[in-house]
Amino acid sequence: MSLTENLNTTMKEAMKAKDSLRLSAIRLVRSAIKNREIEERRELDDQGVIGVLSSLAKQRRDSAEAYRQSGREDLAEKEEKELAIIQEFLPRQLSEEELRALIDQAVSESGAAGPRDMGKVMKLVTAQTTGRADGRLVSELVKARLGA
């Protein structure tokens, strides 16, 4: 079953269960996917859907953080609940140890020697971690590994 089909099935289940938060989050995801399909003038495959889901997850994390800093705990909690629903459709997230192993492999493959080579390493690591790790965490780990 493709991710799009899975989203449609889950949306129907949320309608039947009258789960408004889940339903609105899935509708938001489907709308974002449709917008991306219109932009690219083609139907998205699972990898494209994962890209959209990753973007939405990042937006939810950033929004929750911003709401917390503004003292709006109620809105931060709503964003985190939506994030949890979005993450159900993403592949399993990589652990920090798995990320470090991928980064080490990318450093040896690219021959990176210092902070100036961060772009080379990020290109290799990002290709393997899209939708499976937070980009900010990957960037921080690569910086630490290269001694930036």
| Three-class secondary structure assignment of the chain | CCHHHHHHHHHHHHHHHCCHHHHHHHHHHHHHHHHHHHHHCCCCCHHHHHHHHHHHHHHHHHHHHHHHHCCCHHHHHHHHHHHHHHHCCCCCCCCHHHHHHHHHHHHHHHCCCCHHHHHHHHHHHHHHHCCCCCHHHHHHHHHHHHCC
CA separation (Å) from 29 to 10, 59, 113? Answer: 12, 12, 40
Over the stretch 7-53, which tens digit does the pLDDT of each residue have? 999 999 999 999 999 999 999 999 999 999 999 999 999 989 999 99
User: What is the mean predicted confidence (pLDDT) over 108-119?
Assistant: 89
pLDDT value for 9: 96
pLDDT (tens digit per residue) in 79-102: 999 999 999 999 888 999 999 999
